[in-house]
Every structure is written in structure tokens, then in C-alpha cells.
Amino acid sequence: ATPTAVMVATGIGANHGVLVKGGDALERAQNVNYVIFDKTGTLTQGKAVVTTAKIFSGMDLGDFLTLVASAEASSEHPLAKAVLDYAFHFHFFGKLPSSKDGIEQRKEEILSRWLLEVEDFAAVPGKGVQCLINEKKVLIGNRTLMSENGVSVPPEAESFLVDLEMNAKTGILVAYDRTFVGLMGITDPLKREAAVVVEGLKKMGVHPVMLTGDNWRTAQAVAKEVGIEDVRAEVMPAGKADVVRSLQKDGSIVAMVGDGINDSPALAAADVGMAIGGGTDIAIEAADYVLVRNNLEDVITAIDLSRKTFNRIR
């Protein structure tokens, strides 16, 4: 393609909110064999909502939610935001249904007043969070986090969890003082266009892949809903780039679509990295494309634009 054609294509992309960083990236997109989608925040809306809180000990529901919200208040994870929201609504809207307005705005201030004091908070990437509350260890996260800390999950809780996961929900487990207390089920709906885009890519001869740190059962259920057969689940944040490299081994051209901090090494490793929507700055930096509208249709727009620009003129 002539420099003029590249310039024109770049401009057309920009008008659609498809920002491409240079002619090389624009050229590579035409030959993409795989598009890897991060699950949370990329295929899904990234607006996680708690659907269930189930206690498997004597703890009172209000105390349980206070404990969990206190620990998650220091986390940046979308799951943490869902938990805080749920606890907040349970404690306040339950009691004050008529005075919603001012309260939603004052959420942080109100939360900070009743949350418990937390010490030694640490995020455990790909697994959850841990901290001390009342000098007792609090653990919130997946099965691995529990087992690595010697917390056993009772069979009735395990089967409740399996049930949630088969319904595409993520379960988070809660332990206090090394004893399992209860769990929460969280749902994060798919983006409306997700299934259509997956179908469209297949028609273009591109192989879609879903990549996630979430557990296998939830991942499979979500993948089935969106029409993706190739799933890579329970991948630790550091392992995402390895998945990209393993697909590149036979010379395949790999695009990666993601939004989070966790995704930036994979975005950088991909032949075509696409940061979506209000992705984190570090993701935007690592990417070749920024899809500013946060709409997955722009993945197709980007590939189309490249094909039209280069195929025609070659």
C-alpha cells in the first residue's frame, strides 16, 4: 500500500474509534489467524454483580458482608467492586429505601465509616486477597487460595460452588481465622455484541480463543454462551503471554484483545495487541490498537480495514 493509502486507512479507523499505532500494525492485522479474548472486562461488560451470598457457618449475613467488604475495599479487582456494592446496598438500601439519592453519591464516605480496620492487605494475583482483621487472617478468593492456606471447603459448599460455576458465575470463597465461612456468587454479563463478533470472526476464517484466570467450569459456561470452543482457563496473570507465544510457534499471527493490567504482557507479545475501551493506561501503552468505543465489533473493523487497505493494492 502507498503511504497515502495507509494514511487514509488510519483516518478511517480513527473516525470509528479504531486507533492504530503505525503502518506496521495496520498491515499485520490482515493476516491474523487467532484472536484471543480476555474474558473479564473484554468479552464481559466488566460490571460484576453479586447474585448470591451463602454462609456455611454461624456467622450473621451482615457481619459476613462487613468482613468481606472490609478486606476487598483495598482491592482494585472488578470482583471487589461487586462485593463492596452488594454490602453497601445490603446495609443501607435495605434500611433506607426512600432516601436512595444522596446516599449513592456518599457511598465511599459511608463505607469508610463502618468498614473494619484492615492490616497487612495483599492481593494474591490470579487467586484473591488476604489481610488481617481483628488480628485474624482473612482469605477471599478461589479454591487455590484456600488450599494453599490449609483451609478446607466443606462438601456442601463445594457442591454449591460447582452449581454456581456451571451457571457461568464466579464463586469467591471466604475464610476467617483459617476456617471456611461462606461464599459469594458473582455474575458479569457478556457484552451484547460478543456472540455476533465471535461468529463474524469464524466466518472470516479467524479462530477465536478465550483466555482467563477464572476457573474452568465458569470459563466453559461463558465460552459456550458466546460461541467459543477454544478456552484457556485458570491462567495466572504471568501465563497469559505464554499462551500468545504458544499459538505463535507454528508461525500463526496472533491478535490479543484485553483491557487490564494483567493483559499488558500478552498485548505486547501478540502480533496485534488491541486494548479495548477504557482499558488501563498500561494496557493502552502495550497495545498496537486502541478500540476506544469499548465495542468488540471494532475488532472486526480493524481486521477488515487492514484487509481492504493491503489486499486491494498488492
Nearer of residues 65 and 172 to ligand ADP, judged by Cβ: 172
Does residue 258 touch ligand ADP according to CB under 6 A? no
Pick one of ligand ADP, Mg ion, none as the site partner of residue 10 (Cβ within 5 to 8 A by kind): none
Nearer to Mg ion, 188 or 298 (CB): 188
Q: From CA 295, how far away is CA 220, in angstroms rounded? A: 22
Position closest to ligand ADP via CB: 213
- What are the strands of the beta sheet with 230-232, ordered from one edge? 18-20, 289-291, 272-276, 254-258, 34-38, 207-211, 230-232
Binding status of residue 46 toward ligand ADP by CB under 6 A? no
> Are the C-beta atoms of 79 and 170 separated by less than 8 Å?
yes
Q: Provide the minimum distance between the beta carbon of 205 and ligand ADP in the complex, in angstroms, as a whole number.
A: 27
**Which is nearer to Mg ion, 165 or 259 (by Cβ)?**
259
**Of 38, 214, 259, 288, which one is the catalytic site residue?**
38
x/- site string to ligand ADP, residues 207 to 226, per CB under 6 A? -----xxx------------
Q: Is there a catalytic annotation at residue 38?
A: yes
Beta bridge partners of 50: 186
Query: Using an 8 Å Cβ cutoff, are 144 and 127 in contact?
Result: yes
| Member of 13, 141, 185, 265 binding ligand ADP (CB under 6 A) | 141
Residue 10 DSSP SS3: helix
What counts of helices (H) and strands (E) characterise the chain? Answer: 14, 13
CB 76 within 8 A of CB 125: no
- Listed in sequence order, the residues at least 6 apart from 147 whose beta carbon sits closer than 8 Å to its beta carbon are none
The burial of 37, by beta-carbon neighbours within 10 Å (0-12 exposed, 13-18 middle, 19 or more buried), is given as buried
Contact between 200 and ligand ADP (CB under 6 A)?
Answer: no
User: How many Å apart are CA 273 and CA 51, to the nearest integer?
Assistant: 33
Binding ligand ADP (rule: CB under 6 A), the pick from 66, 75, 130, 306 is: 75
Residue 79 interacting entry, from ligand ADP, Mg ion, none, C-beta within 5 to 8 Å by type: ligand ADP
- As to burial, measured by CB atoms within 10 angstroms (0-12 exposed, 13-18 middle, 19+ buried), residue 191 is buried
Q: How is residue 77 written as a grid cell?
A: 479487582
Report the residue number, 143 or 307, with the smaller CB distance to ligand ADP.
143
Give the one residue of 140, 161, 223, 256 binding ligand ADP; rule: CB under 6 A.
140
**Total interface residues for ligand ADP by CB under 6 A:** 22
Residues that bind Mg ion (CB under 5 A): 38, 40-41, 260
Residue from 28, 39, 169, 232 binding ligand ADP (CB under 6 A): 39
- Where b means 16+ CB within 10 Å and e means fewer, 46-74 reads bebebebbbbbeeeeeeebbbbbbbbbbe
- Residue 272 C-beta: closest distance to ligand ADP, Å: 20
Cβ proximity to Mg ion, 157 vs 254, nearer residue: 254
Shortest distance, CB of residue 21 to Mg ion, whole angstroms? 21
Q: Is 191 in the site for ligand ADP (CB under 6 A)?
A: no
Q: Which positions lie near ligand ADP, rule CB under 6 A?
A: 39-40, 72, 75, 77, 79-80, 126-129, 140-142, 170, 172, 212-214, 237, 260, 262
Catalytic residues: 38
